[in-house]
Structure 1
Amino acid sequence: MPERGSFSGGPARAGGRAPHRWPVWRLPRLLLGTVLLVEAAAAALLAIDLLTRPSPTAAELGAGAVLCVLGIAYNELAVGVERERRRLGGASHIDLSSVWTFAAALVLPGADAAVVAAVILLHLWARAWRQWVPLHRQLFSVATVVLACIAAAALVESAGEPPRPLWLLLAAIVVFMAVNSGLIAAVVAVSTPRAGPTTLFGPTDENVLELGMLCLGALAAIVLALNPALLLLMLLPLYAVLRAALIRPLEAAASTDGKTGLLNAATWVAEAERVLAGTDGAERAGGVLILDLDHFKAVNDTHGHAVGDRVLTAVADALRRVVRAPDLVGRMGGEEFVVLPKRAACGTRSVELDSVELEVVAERIRVHVADLRLEVATSRGPLVIAGLTVSVGGAVAAAGGSDLAALLQTADTALYEAKRAGRNTVRIAVTSPAPPSAHSISVPAAGRGARVPEGARSED
């Protein structure tokens, strides 16, 4: 189940909070109303189905018990990996226990399947997700799965007694996924206007994985009808799939900066060198920009490092909004960021045109940062951070080409000139042609210090 958790209110705190103090109550009215409507619909349909449907048969009780036990056993097997996925993956997450919840929707009446799903999901939350997922957000996720189970089970029941055709199983998969993902996407759309498909429905690979888990759920339902004991053979393969699903967040964590989500210094340098080497084919580097927040030390000294981190995150978000999606944006450390705009490789280019285009990008970034107004909650009440400025130094490759080390050195010198000119300004320079022999770049461990000329900048 993909979670594009844009209304979470942050990680859960140990011990939780009283329901009336949950962050969900501080949501905008439209968003809160949408969330409560989904949860109320799930509770109402579940209650109506339980009250109006005949008591479950012994076979249904047995099947439900088997799926609950297997789902909980799988959760216990996967606790360590699930915690690591939550820690690394943030809000975007696939719930691999949908194997058991969808199987329940195929073999049980809707209400009974919903109860099985709720038991498995709440157990998984209590054992593995509690530290990162607030209870109110988990309840919304449970509500979407409850509605998906009721809808899929109703479709299956409408076809009469088994055996059931393959097309019915495929249709049930579509209905289950459409209800679950559609409800989540609706809430994300309310909270994030103009959100793109990836924001609404999650990355393609995660949706493919979710679809695969639902197909395994259909197989689990078939095996349950033949010989329930054979379902034990699914636990280890599912655990292997879960371990494999950990690879992507591990790769992302290794390549991104933990505070801002931008590329870290080592990854940015590697990607930038690849672009400069021309391995992208259709794109080339349009120059390099180095940005340094002015007087950032004063923010940390006055308001604390927690507020400083919020400022860094806000600036990173501003950079994402200003630059194009293919451009390389990274954090080099401290309060310094770096941007490598990409340009089409075809057509005649000149140093002058590249300089003008790079300066336009730099000015847009400078103005956007100057317009930032960040409200931060503190123990003394809301704190508004405004008046941030950034100095920008840029470097354009010479007509004969320049390597990354030369571009960064030129941009850093231009940044120093921007600081000397009074800060909150942009300076663009042309880099000398690259020497015949290539050399590697030393990535600074803690920001700009490794590249600053001796005695050039002693303060931000």
Structure 2
Amino acid sequence: MVLVLFTVELLTVGLVAGGLAALPADRSTGLALLGAIGLVALGVVHTELATGIERVRRRVAHASYFDLSSVWTFAGALLFPPGVAGLVVIGVYSHLWWRVWRPAGAGFYRHVYTTSTVVLAAIAASTVVAPDGLATVAGAGGPGSMLPAVGLLLLAMAVYVVVNQVLVALALALTTGRRFALRGVLGEWDDHILEGATLCLGVLAALAALRQPLLILLVLPPLLVLHRAVLIRQLEERANTDAKTGLLTAAAWRGQAHRGLARGRRHRDAVAVLILDLDHFKSVNDCYGHLAGDEVLTAVARTLTAQVREVDPVGRFGGEEFVVLLAGLPHGQEGRTLAHAAAERIRRAVRGLAVRVDQPGGPLTIADLSVSVGVAITGQDGESLEELMQVADYALYAAKRAGRNRVRLGRSEGEPGSEA
């Protein structure tokens, strides 16, 4: 990871310095530097207007965080030579560090690396567009002459996104151990739609700067509206997340479960509902305290998400109860067998947990945990979410009555289950 950091940062310094050294000592260079200062000033005004929103966004962001400064950095890539485009990024991101990242507690080394990735993305996009690419679009006289230049702009946008996100994904994969995957490392599709929208505004800002510089101020109002819209989405996501475990809340899980059942009906797949309850959890709170109990709940939540697929929603239903929806199962006995195997896998994983907890008297390990699981699957157990949850709840208490640490399926108490 250190090697990647230093390589990217040294490459950034070398390319910016080399780009600046290659500039001719004439009026065009002076105008480019003056324009870069103006673009950085607009980025500063934008950040100041949106500082409060951005601080909240950074605090509530999860794995990925997309700021909206690409409007100015991509505009710089379109307007200026590579070295000057790098200076625009450095100026905008230096102010972002001081006003947004530093107050939010972000690490300085992370910000330096992020700035370097954006500089490299801007240099790559600037190289693709070349000096006359944007000017061709601005002065195009008809569709025939405009289409090639528009294609070049779209290519520049793609290069900007790919270079930036590949470098960010590489860093996240090395530091978190997650696979180099679009969904897990690069963020959700909504994040990429947001990035695309800011790049489009960057194109409009650059075109305005070429034809009528004062019109570039009209970019600010829709940009601030976009800030608020994105903040609302992130706050909704946070509201749907259980604070202790990081799982879905009961209401959010129900919403996703209803959508999963609807997809199952469309695709003619079976869907299973699992309700899980930690056995004797009250004794954990009584013996070790509620903070230790929270650590146990968090460990169990991580185990649940690790034992099911990413497409299977997992929620905290209340207290020590959890719920899982397994989608895309075959109908009939094969689906029941797969649902039972998933429940068994979860039960065994929880049984093997050893949760290390720091206490005033020293660290201790909480083990001997177990979970009872009730399972219901579409078909003979019901079709609606309410029916499935009733049957799964009935099966859960059948597992409890049978001695806990068991899996029970469907309506029959006597149906074969499993235990450690």
**TM-score normalized by structure 2?**
0.80
Corresponding residue for residue 11 of structure 1: none
Corresponding residue for residue 255 of structure 1: 240
- Which range moves more in the overlay, 259-268 or 63-72? 259-268
- The whole-number CA distance in structure 2 between the counterparts of 1:307 and 1:104 is 52
How far is 1:139 from its partner?
1.7
Corresponding residue for residue 412 of structure 1: 393
Q: SS of the counterpart of 2:324?
A: strand
* Larger RCO of the pair (alpha carbons < 8 Å, separation 6+): 1
Higher-helix-fraction structure: 2
1:143-186 Cα offsets, whole Å, 9 max, x none, are 10111222233344466995574444333323222211121122
- The whole-number CA distance in structure 1 between the counterparts of 2:342 and 2:284 is 26
- The whole-number CA distance in structure 2 between the counterparts of 1:283 and 1:300 is 44
**TM-score normalized by structure 1?**
0.74
Q: Which amino acid aligns with 1:231?
A: I
Unaligned runs of 5+ in 2: 138-148, 414-420
Corresponding residue for residue 358 of structure 1: 339
Name which of 164, 167, 174 aligns with 1:183: 167
Whether 2:98 is the aligned partner of 1:126: answer: yes
Closer, same or farther: CA 400–160 of 1 in aligned 2, 3 Å: closer
Corresponding residue for residue 52 of structure 2: 80
Closer, same or farther: CA 186–74 of 1 in aligned 2, 3 Å: same
Corresponding residue for residue 319 of structure 2: 334
Q: Which amino acid aligns with 1:411?
A: A
1:30-83 Cα offsets, whole Å, 9 max, x none, are x33223322232233334444564568431232112111111111111123223
Equivalent residues in 2 for 1:164-203, closer than 5 Å: 165-190=149-174, 191-192=176-177, 194-203=179-188
Aligned residues: 398
Corresponding residue for residue 308 of structure 2: 323
- The whole-number CA distance in structure 1 between the counterparts of 2:322 and 2:134 is 63
Q: Which amino acid aligns with 1:365?
A: I
Whether 2:10 is the aligned partner of 1:40: answer: yes
Closer, same or farther: CA 170–401 of 1 in aligned 2, 3 Å: closer
- Which range moves more in the overlay, 214-223 or 48-57? 48-57
Corresponding residue for residue 93 of structure 1: 65
Indicate conservation of the 8 Å contact 1:71/1:97, yes or no. yes
Closer, same or farther: CA 192–417 of 1 in aligned 2, 3 Å: same
Corresponding residue for residue 225 of structure 2: 240
Name which of 28, 31, 42 aligns with 1:59: 31
- The whole-number CA distance in structure 1 between the counterparts of 2:264 and 2:236 is 21
Corresponding residue for residue 418 of structure 2: none
- The whole-number CA distance in structure 1 between the counterparts of 2:171 and 2:324 is 33
Indicate conservation of the 8 Å contact 2:312/2:326, yes or no. yes
Equivalent residues in 2 for 1:285-434, closer than 5 Å: 286-297=271-282, 299=284, 308-344=293-329, 349=332, 355-372=336-353, 387-395=368-376, 399=380, 401=382, 404-405=385-386, 407-430=388-411
Indicate conservation of the 8 Å contact 1:288/1:407, yes or no. yes
How far is 1:279 from its partner?
7.9
The Cα RMSD (Å) is 3.6
Q: SS of the counterpart of 1:262?
A: coil
- Which range moves more in the overlay, 63-72 or 355-364? 355-364
Corresponding residue for residue 217 of structure 1: 202
- The whole-number CA distance in structure 2 between the counterparts of 1:44 and 1:71 is 24
Q: Which amino acid aligns with 1:34?
A: V
How far is 1:415 from its partner?
3.1
- Which range moves more in the overlay, 99-108 or 83-92? 83-92
- The whole-number CA distance in structure 1 between the counterparts of 2:155 and 2:272 is 51
Corresponding residue for residue 139 of structure 1: 112
How far is 1:235 from its partner?
0.4
- The whole-number CA distance in structure 2 between the counterparts of 1:302 and 1:48 is 65
Closer, same or farther: CA 225–328 of 1 in aligned 2, 3 Å: closer
